[in-house]
Amino acid sequence: MVVSMVEYERADGVAVVTIDRPEARNAIDRETARGLRDAWERFEDDDGALVGVLTGAGGTFSAGADLEKMDLEETEDGWLGFTRKRVEKPTIAAVEGYCVAGGLEMALWCDLRVAAESATFGCFERRFGVPLVDGGTQRLPRLVGRGRALDMILTGRVVDADTALDWGLADRVTDDGNALNAAVELAETIAEFPQETVRTDRAALYDGLGTSLEAGLEIEAEYGRGVLDVADAGAERFSAGEGRGGAGIDED
């Protein structure tokens, strides 16, 4: 299905959201931002979609806001359509080529990032005086630390895939042209786990950020109490011989 310049496709438990403006390096204009908002709302409402993957068509993730049109509007979900939206399921960015400016902010919105070897990350909007308004100033330091985030934000430096991996900005690096396949494979692995606890553990992590350890432990405990039946069922499967020796866990 095509929603504006955004495609939403689902195979089994994995939904792929594709920014489809390759002629503009997948830059985001108002229509595309609305399409992204609609796609992630569809993902959240799609009971069969367990993990979402965000990518760009034509070998580029996204160059950020479309500075030629400059027609974006601020909404409660962010300038780029979804960057202030919270979804309750895991998300992965599949990054080929440029992932810069607002493109970087969209990738930071995702839980994980799979990057091709020649992927390029950076706050390139620095050159044009465009502010980071889609979460970059808040999410980037949480991933790479204050010093590295300030280096990227203040200088607009280019960060390659290997550096991104070393810093924790990327979680996997794969061959050029394979980022989407690798991201989908990772998503399929996550989709195979019991989703109740995938989601509650994820929510506990996010809700605990910025709190004291004591408050965070209580948040974790509260979420955990709600899924003890899932844990009991898992313990029974383990006792019956399933999953011994770490079977079913990605070792990459």
Collect contacts of 151-155 with beta carbons under 8 A, ≥24 apart: 152/121, 152/122, 152/123, 153/123, 153/126, 154/126, 155/126
37-69 as b/e: b if 16+ CB within 10 A: bbbbbbbeeeeebbbbbbbbbebbbbbbbbeee
Catalytic residue (choose from 31, 41, 73, 105): 105
Q: Tell me the two tokens of residue 64.
A: 């950020």
Active site residue 125: yes
Residues in the chain, overall count: 252
- Cβ–Cβ under 8 Å, residues 201 and 136: no
Which of 41, 68, 88, 125 is the catalytic position?
125
- The yes-or-no answer on residue 214 being catalytic is no
Q: How far apart are CA 10 and CA 86, in angstroms?
A: 20
d(CA 203, CA 206): 5
Q: At residue 227, what is the residue type? A: V
Does residue 93 contact residue 86 with C-beta atoms inside 8 Å?
Answer: no
Q: Token match 């019956």: residue?
A: 240
Q: Which residues are catalytic?
A: 105, 125
